[in-house]
Amino acid sequence: NAISVVRRTVGATNPAEAEPGSIRADFGLEIGRNLVHASDGPDTAETETALWFGADLIEWPRSVDGWIFE
């Protein structure tokens, strides 16, 4: 599950409670300045991704597509 792996890598919201080796434990200063955001589930991930990235940044024609026939 990508979301759980990313959230574990990021660490707890409070850097003081984050697991050593996580991004927030190693680099976060406080709850409000914890350095990084990670969505908590698929629905919020989709919503939050749409805030920053439009469809034109996610979808593009691949050069290999002209050479592969299915």
Every domain of the chain and the residues it spans: 2-60
pLDDT in tens, 31-69: 988 779 999 999 999 999 888 887 777 667 788 888 888
Q: Would you state the pLDDT for residue 58?
A: 63
Alpha-carbon distance of 65 to 44, in angstroms, equals: 31
37 is catalytic: yes
CATH of region 2-60 = 3.30.70.141
24-29, Cβ contacts within 8 angstroms, sequence gap of 24 or more: none
Question: What are the tens digits of pLDDT across the range 1-25?
Answer: 888 999 999 999 999 999 999 999 9
Q: Which is catalytic among the residues 33, 37, 63, 65?
A: 37
Calculate the alpha carbon distances from 1 to 6, 8, 26, 41, 45 in Å: 9, 11, 23, 10, 13
Q: Are the beta carbons of 49 and 35 closer than 8 angstroms?
A: no
